[in-house]
Structure 1
Amino acid sequence: MQSDRCAGIMSASLILHGYWRSSAAYRVRIALNFKGLAYDQVNHDLRTGAQHAADYRTIAPHGLVPALVDGGNAFIQSPAILEWLEERYPLPALLPADIDDRAIVRSMISIVACDIHPLNNLRVLEKLRGTFGADADAIKSWIAGWISEGFSVVEELVRRHGEGYCFGAAPTLADCTLVPQLYSAERFGVDLSPYPALMTAGEAARALPAFIAAHPHRQPDADSP
């Protein structure tokens, strides 16, 4: 069940507030699908500033997506939401059992979610355009630079720890985080040839049903092809 109307936080079902092309919302969709959880979608078009509406800010005070509502609780920031899903719905697992292995997976997540994505977020790109006069080529160079710097580190970690996926032989939250960033990199024409291990892991994950269903172009608010 899906809706484009802003929903209150008292619903008994899981409600994901997002936007079809948001990398952060994409991560959460993957995890929800992987764990077989039913959820409603409420969509906010970031291009029109819908995420700043007063009724949505009662759910997500920072005015960003995603937000995940569960009954009377609203959770914001995708890394925190992913961790909550893993703790609340531990099977099937998206974190390894070993504490050291979990730290490695979280390192991969952090490189993407903390080092790459925030610098390429829509509000940052709008600031570059509006305040600093960056043109399309400058924006593309900015995006590619930060993605390439982060991906070079993820590549090395996947080489060390991957066995078909980012870590080991099964998908983890690292794959949930990597795949949306790959979508963004491809969207902006970033050269991904220097990252063969990363790409192998990404392609393996993207072939799974949970990842396929979460793809931006399959979302109800996606632009028409």
Structure 2
Amino acid sequence: MTSPILFDHYRSSASYRVRIALNLKGVEYRSIPVDLAAGAQKKPDYRAVNPQGFVPMLDDGGRRITQSLAIIHYLDATRPEPPLVPGDAADRAHVVALALTIACDIHPLNNLRVLKHLTGDLGLTEETKNGWIARWISEGFAALEALAAPRAGRFLFGDSPTLADICLVPQMYNARRFHVPLDSFPLLVRLDAEATALEAFAAAHPDRVAPPA
């Protein structure tokens, strides 16, 4: 069976999620870097296969799947061990809600295209941009900490990593990259440390997959 191909960018939070999921599943894959800073995602050849022009995109034997959470759900369906969402309907909804709090409500407001628009088209200063990032990450993390607390264990839900942790770790990386204070989120800091101690998470870290300088 041909190894899947991941169209990837080392600092993309969404790509980082998929790398973690592939590692947790033990799936060998080939990475094709897409240089977001150089605008490679906007080139006609990439847009021809991914009209949104985003990463990640997974090509699994000719099946091209976009959107990180859709890719992870696909991996969970086609490679079910270990499961990344619980089997129980209520538990599954809880884990997906935690993941979406990050993927839909926090991450989009601090991704590259939004930040470029703030400093480029709108002419905001770096200081104002960084304040924007800190506000939305901090507001989202406050909600996430409260939502996760009642059912957290070693991880955001229970004692095994799930889709929620796969989303948390890249967002914590972003928070630290932009110097967002994390003292108010001790649970998230603890859970992030628990997850990143696992090789599946550590091997997906941007520093481990960055292209050569």
Q: Matched residues in 1 for 2:84 and 2:115: separation?
A: 31
Q: Aligned residue for 1:175?
A: 165
TM-score by length of 1: 0.92
How many residue pairs end up in the alignment? 213
> By how many angstroms is 1:59 displaced?
2.1
Amino acid in the other structure paired with 2:211 = D
Q: Aligned residue for 1:125?
A: 115
- Note the 1:76-91 alignment, pairs <5 A: 76-91=66-81
Q: Matched residues in 1 for 2:189 and 2:149: separation?
A: 11
> By how many angstroms is 1:168 displaced?
0.5
- Give CA-to-partner distance per residue, 1:6-25, whole Å, 9 cap, x none: xxxxx932000010000000
Query: Is 2:150 the partner of 1:160?
Result: yes
**8 Å Cα contact 1:12-1:71 kept in structure 2:** yes
Q: Secondary structure at the match of 2:87?
A: coil
Q: Which runs of 5+ in 2 are unaligned?
A: none
Q: Secondary structure at the match of 1:140?
A: helix
CA RMSD of aligned residues (A): 1.2
Q: Matched residues in 2 for 1:32 and 1:76: separation?
A: 15
Q: Aligned residue for 1:75?
A: 65
> By how many angstroms is 1:160 displaced?
1.0
Amino acid in the other structure paired with 2:35 = D
- Note the 1:105-120 alignment, pairs <5 A: 105-120=95-110
Q: Aligned residue for 1:6?
A: none
Q: Secondary structure at the match of 1:47?
A: coil
Q: Secondary structure at the match of 2:2?
A: coil
> By how many angstroms is 1:134 displaced?
0.7
Q: Aligned residue for 1:43?
A: 33
Q: Aligned residue for 1:5?
A: none
> By how many angstroms is 1:32 displaced?
0.1
Q: Aligned residue for 1:147?
A: 137
Q: Aligned residue for 2:54?
A: 64
Q: Matched residues in 2 for 1:136 and 1:105: separation?
A: 35
Q: Aligned residue for 1:201?
A: 191
**8 Å Cα contact 1:67-1:75 kept in structure 2:** yes
Q: Secondary structure at the match of 2:203?
A: helix
**8 Å Cα contact 1:164-1:170 kept in structure 2:** yes
- Give CA-to-partner distance per residue, 1:98-120, whole Å, 9 cap, x none: 11001000001101000011111
After the TM superposition, which segments of 4 or more aligned residues of structure 1 sit over 4 Å from their partners? none
Q: Matched residues in 2 for 1:63 and 1:221: separation?
A: 20
**8 Å Cα contact 1:26-1:216 kept in structure 2:** yes
Q: Matched residues in 2 for 1:134 and 1:172: separation?
A: 37
Q: Secondary structure at the match of 2:64?
A: strand
Amino acid in the other structure paired with 1:62 = Q
Query: Is 2:206 the partner of 1:216?
Result: yes
> By how many angstroms is 1:44 displaced?
0.9
Q: Which runs of 5+ in 1 are unaligned?
A: 1-10
TM-score by length of 2: 0.97
Q: Matched residues in 1 for 2:143 and 2:158: separation?
A: 17
